[in-house]
Structure 1
Amino acid sequence: MEDPYTFSICDTSSFSDYICGGIVSQVKVTKEISFKSLPTSRAEPDFVITDFAKYSRPPQLHIGFQALHQFYAQHGQPPRPHNEEDATELVTLAQAVNAQALPAVQQKSLDEDLIRKLAYVAAGDLAPINSFIGGVAAQEVMKACSGKFMPVMQWLYFDAVECLPEDQEAFTEDTCLPCQNRYDGQVAVFGSGLQEKLGKQRYFLVGAGSVGCELLKNFAMIGLGCGEGGAVTITDMDTIEKSNLNRQFLFRPWDIRVSGMDVSDPT
């Protein structure tokens, strides 16, 4: 086999003239893989590149997250949202980590602005991002259990800095203070102003199947339409089948053969 798409056979110069036909049998060869230990992988990382426009970003984040772990070990908590003192301390820790890193990992120019943004949002907790990371983790578990697919052997840093408000100077620590509810992790990233706007939204969702159910879960977790004047209206014209139950959580076995429109209390 020369590559995943082509293969070669033995020397055919002594064969008779080719007429037609032929059978090729694929033989799957077992491959053993080994993983670096965590300390070795941390010192000599490989990265999954998900956005080639940010090719140099993962090594910077690798340094930043090591500094973040040190900050947590020292203080027992992540940096406070948009707190300049904590952000400056994280930058200092990142510079120390970078100075001690191996030459292959060490960054000639540490992106201090990126490290500061990491400090600002380190206390955040976003349900849609959790859904993505959870999906990747579940897929890796499936790979480990089945042994059929190659696992991810690199570090994955999901970077969505573009989602942050452009006018960071308008953000202060006061606008990101926790309100003691399940939206505190989101307020820590985007501020209380955006949370209020999300609560006032009015959305109409067509279909509450496997995809619609996931959307509804994220809508609830981010507080969409949950404030004064807000609402989420749902419609689903399909009849609930048994096969639907394993890919959503709105319906139960007693809802089978019932129209989605007729289920008054699906939970």
Structure 2
Amino acid sequence: MLTERPSASLKGLAGGLIRSGLIALALLPVPAWSQQQNLTAGVRENAVVANPDRPAPLSNEARADIYMARKMYREAIETYLLDKKPSPVVLNKVGIAYHQTGDLRTAERYYQKAIKAKPDYAEAINNLGTIQYAKKSYRRAVSTYKKALKYSPNSASIHSNLGTAWFARKKYQQAMECYERAMAIDPDVFEHRSTTGVLLQERSVAERAKFHYYLAKAYAKQGRQDLALLYIRKSLEEGFKDRAKYMEEAEFAQLRTLPEFELLMKLEPRVL
């Protein structure tokens, strides 16, 4: 098969182009369609492909909850309030954050805002009761805790708080009944130590020795001997004077058969 060979004139033209270099080719304008094609290809290469397994970004509330867990209360408050219209739950959490900083007045204001937004919000009502308790308005605290229990009758923590308010008023029988009700709902209600969540549980008691005596009695009635012994020891270390109660009351009859109990009764623990 024959092929055409280039003519001399064409050879000369080609040589001239070669001699002038290929720079001229680089100076030629790139067609618009080619630029668009390259641009599109670049985007395709650099595009971030959505990962269905990647977790969604955290909400302001979730980020603030993390600050609360780290006890970074100021940062938590700022982050909660980034939402333009905070929900009752968020308003309550802001109240808890202020409560933890010791700013009871502002905490109370946010609890009241949460209750105004959701009148049956038992947790916020309970938290308002803890403010009243902290201010030693024990009668008001009792009333507020009772109101909270109307909306959340099976809350062990609220029953516990009501018992503590009765205890502060020296109504020990009512306090004991509330403690036993709380333990019936949640046997470990007095052992929880979490500082996060939407509901506060009151821990401060003036008469700690007597308080621990009543806890020991409640645990003994439940047959939880280890915890009963623990709180007997705590009560003695805090100066509980009426040791005869442990030797005489029926609730401690089973404990009196234990060598650990006998040892506790013989010890004279250093009062803390």
* Higher helix content, 1 or 2: 2
TM-score past 0.5 threshold: no
Larger radius of gyration: 2
Report the TM-score, using the length of structure 1 for normalisation.
0.29
Report the TM-score, using the length of structure 2 for normalisation.
0.29
